[in-house]
Amino acid sequence: MGILFDMDGVIADTNPFHKITIQQFCAQHGIEATDSFLEEKVYGRVNKEWIPELFGAITTAESEKLADEKEALFREIYASHLKAVDGLLDFLSLLQQHSISAAIATSAPLENAEFILSGLNISHFFDAVLHSAHVEQGKPHPEIYLKAAAALGEKPTDCIVIEDSISGVLAGKAAACKVIGVTTTHTREELGAIDLGIDDFVGLSLSDLKKL
Residue 44: what pLDDT? 64
Q: Stretch 149-159: mean pLDDT, rounded?
A: 98
Residue 34: what pLDDT? 82
Dist. CA 135–CA 106, nearest whole Å: 10
**Average confidence score pLDDT of the chain:** 93
Residue 162: what pLDDT? 98
What predicted TM-score, i.e. pTM, was given to this entire model?
0.87
Entry field: residues in the chain: 212
Q: Quick check: 8 and 184 in contact, CB under 8 A?
A: no
**Is the model's pLDDT at 82 over the cut of 80?**
yes
Q: Stretch 44-65: mean pLDDT, rounded?
A: 85
Q: Quick check: 162 and 6 in contact, CB under 8 A?
A: yes
Residue 95: what pLDDT? 97
Residue 57: what pLDDT? 83
Which residues are annotated as catalytic? 6, 8
Dist. CA 182–CA 48, nearest whole Å: 25
**Is the model's pLDDT at 32 over the cut of 90?**
no
Q: Stretch 187-210: mean pLDDT, rounded?
A: 95
Backbone angles phi, psi at 194, to 5 degrees: -80, 155
Encode pLDDT of 94-131 as tens digits.
999 999 999 999 988 899 999 999 999 999 999 999 99
Dist. CA 54–CA 32, nearest whole Å: 9
Encode pLDDT of 139-152 as tens digits.
899 999 999 999 99
Domains by residue range for the chain, with CATH: 2-13+82-211 (3.40.50.1000), 15-80 (1.10.150)
